[in-house]
Amino acid sequence: MKFFLIIKIIILKIIRLNISFLKREISGYPNIVKKFEKDFASFIGKNYGISFCNGSSAIEASLFALDLSQNDEILVTSSNFHSSIGSIKNLKFKPIFVDIDPQSLTIDCNDLKNKITSKSKCLLIVHPWGYPCKMQEITKIVKENNLKLIEDCSHAHGALYDNKKVGSFSDISCFSLQGAKAIKAGEGGIALTNNKNFLLRMSLYGHFNRHQSELMNDENLKEFSKTGFSKKLRAHPLGISLASVDLENLVNLNKYKNEIYNTIDNIIKKYNSIKTMELNDKATRGGFFGGYPVIFNDIEKIDEIKKIFEKFKIELYPYHWLPHHKMNIFNSDETKLIVSESIIKNFFMIKIPYFLNFNFDNFKKCLLDCKKNNLIK
Q: Please give the Cα distance from 302 to 55 (Å, whole number).
A: 33
Dist. CA 244–CA 233, nearest whole Å: 19
- % of the chain beyond a pLDDT of 90: 92
Strand pairing category for 172-176 and 274-275: unpaired
351 touches 291 (CB < 8 A): yes
pLDDT recorded at residue 209:
87
The per-residue pLDDT for 266 is 97
User: Is the separation of the CB atoms in 106 and 133 below 8 Å?
Assistant: yes
Q: Which DSSP category does 129 fall into?
A: G
Strand order across the 292-296 sheet: 274-275, 292-296, 347-350, 316-318
Note whether residue 80 is domain-resident: yes
CATH of the domain at 15: 3.40.640.10
Strands across the sheet with 48-52, in order?
48-52, 189-193, 172-176, 148-152, 120-126, 73-77, 94-98
Read off the pLDDT of residues 241-272 as tens digits, 9 standing for 90 and up: 999 999 999 999 999 999 999 999 999 999 99
Within this chain, do residues 163 and 299 fall inside the same structural domain, yes or no?
no
Is residue 321 located within the same domain as residue 366?
Answer: yes
Last residue of a domain, one of 210, 245, 280: 245
235 located within any domain: yes
Does any domain span residue 377? no
Instruction: Clarify whether residues 202 and 126 are in a common domain.
Output: yes
Res 151: pLDDT: 98
CA distance 339 to 358: 30
Q: What is the mean pLDDT of residues 120-126?
A: 98
Domain holding 350, by residue range, is 250-372
pLDDT at 284 over 90: yes
60-116 tens-digit pLDDT: 999 999 999 999 999 999 999 999 999 999 999 999 999 999 999 999 999 999 999
Same-domain check for residues 294 and 200: no
Tens digit of each residue's pLDDT (9 = 90 or more) over 203-229? 999 998 899 989 898 888 889 888 998
Nearest Cα to Cα of residue 97 among 370, 360, 335: 335
Residue 158 and residue 290 in one domain:
no
Output the average pLDDT for the chain: 96
Q: Do residue 196 and residue 333 come from a single domain?
A: no
Residues 127 and 230 in one domain: yes
DSSP state of 100: B
10 Å CB burial of residue 249 (0-12, 13-18, 19+) is: middle
Region 116-137: mean pLDDT is 98
